Amino acid sequence: MTDPPAQPRYRIEDLAHETRTTVRTIRAYQDRGLLPRPERRGRANLYSEAHITRLHQIAHLLDRGYTLASIKELLDAWDTGRGLGGVLGLVTEVEGPWTDERPDRITRTDLDARFGGTPDDDAVTEAVALGVLERIDGDPDTFLVPSPQELSAAVELHAAGVPLSAISSHLRELRGQVEHIAARFLEFTAEYVFARYLDDPGRRTDAHATEAAALVRRLRPLAQQTMEAELARAMRSLATRHLRTHLSTEKSADEPPADRCVALPAQTIDAVEKLVGRERASEFIALAAEREVRARALDDLASGTVRTREVRESP
């Protein structure tokens, strides 16, 4: 029976070369407790394949945006038997795409054509800042479009007459509101669904992390479905209200003016009521006022005719 082949050992310089890092970084990871101490043989420190695996794990988590402190917590979970594989599976599920939409690419020529054919460098810069477009290294004339639907919406709005500056401003405002809604949904699900995985040390095993990842996969579409339903309800309600308000305003412009209240002396009201009765008092006052107005109009017309005649007859 032959002995298993000896595992390779690496000096720190060789380890840095194999993992495309630096000696200084490796030592910093050791000082932070992220990397196990090497095996000491005489005056040499020797590293194993386990160190290479660990350095790859650290690089993978750093690329995902994790801090060294959070990486240490994950690696400690692995070292204490709580399962790094399941945790990484949960991380992959959370950080994966939350939509079935696939990114696309578009050339600058096609982009200009879709927005009327006139190049607008400021609008492109704004779109890149908002993440609607992403530049591609080595290809300045082509952009990555993370959400083709979002770009198509901007095209339709611009074709309908909305300026690009207004579209960008609206998107910034909308994004802030949507992020607030997303935060509330996350707080809601964390409190009622994922708290048992996050707060219970007994549920931090590989199996529980896999279970939590499956829950994320099941619940992920619910946020979008809820948003679509509520947005449709709100848009219908507000659009109907806006249309009715607009139509009622137009209608009221064609209608005769409504009745208004005018303060009259109490003695006048009493005299009219004694003369025609309380039920017909308002009608009498209206007719009397109308007769007075017409009489004054007739007087003005007659006096104007007299003045005109006098002018004509004057020598």
Average pLDDT, the chain: 81
Q: Is the per-residue pLDDT at 95 higher than 80?
A: no
Q: Which CATH number fits domain 12-80: 2.60.120.1440, 3.50.50.60, 3.40.50.2020, 1.10.1660.10?
A: 1.10.1660.10
Please indicate whether residue 164 or residue 287 has the higher confidence score (pLDDT). 164
- 49-63 helix and 68-79 helix, angle to the nearest 10 degrees: 140
Q: How confident is the model at residue 102 (pLDDT cuts 50, 70, 90)?
A: confident
Q: Is the per-residue pLDDT at 69 higher than 90?
A: no
Measured from the Cβ of residue 124, the count of other Cβ atoms closer than 10 Å reads 19
Q: Where are the domains of the chain?
A: 12-80, 104-219, 263-300
Do 12-80 and 104-219 agree at the fold level? Answer: yes
State the average pLDDT over residues 70-99.
Answer: 67
Q: How confident is the model at residue 77 (pLDDT cuts 50, 70, 90)?
A: low
Q: Is the per-residue pLDDT at 304 higher than 70?
A: no
Please indicate whether residue 88 or residue 172 has the higher confidence score (pLDDT). 172
Which tens digit of pLDDT belongs to each residue from 218-248? 887 888 888 889 889 989 998 898 888 878 7
Among 19-28, 101-110, 161-170, 287-296, the minimum mean pLDDT is found in: 287-296
Per-residue pLDDT, 1: 45
Which tens digit of pLDDT belongs to each residue from 46-67? 998 889 888 988 888 888 778 8
Per-residue pLDDT, 176: 87
What's the CA gap between 39 and 15, in Å, rounded?
13
Q: How confident is the model at residue 302 (pLDDT cuts 50, 70, 90)?
A: low
- Any idea which architecture 104-219 has in CATH? Orthogonal Bundle (1.10)
Which tens digit of pLDDT belongs to each residue from 27-40? 999 888 888 888 88
Please indicate whether residue 69 or residue 156 has the higher confidence score (pLDDT). 156
Per-residue pLDDT, 149: 93
Q: How confident is the model at residue 144 (pLDDT cuts 50, 70, 90)?
A: very high
CA angle 7, 10, 13 (to 5 degrees): 165
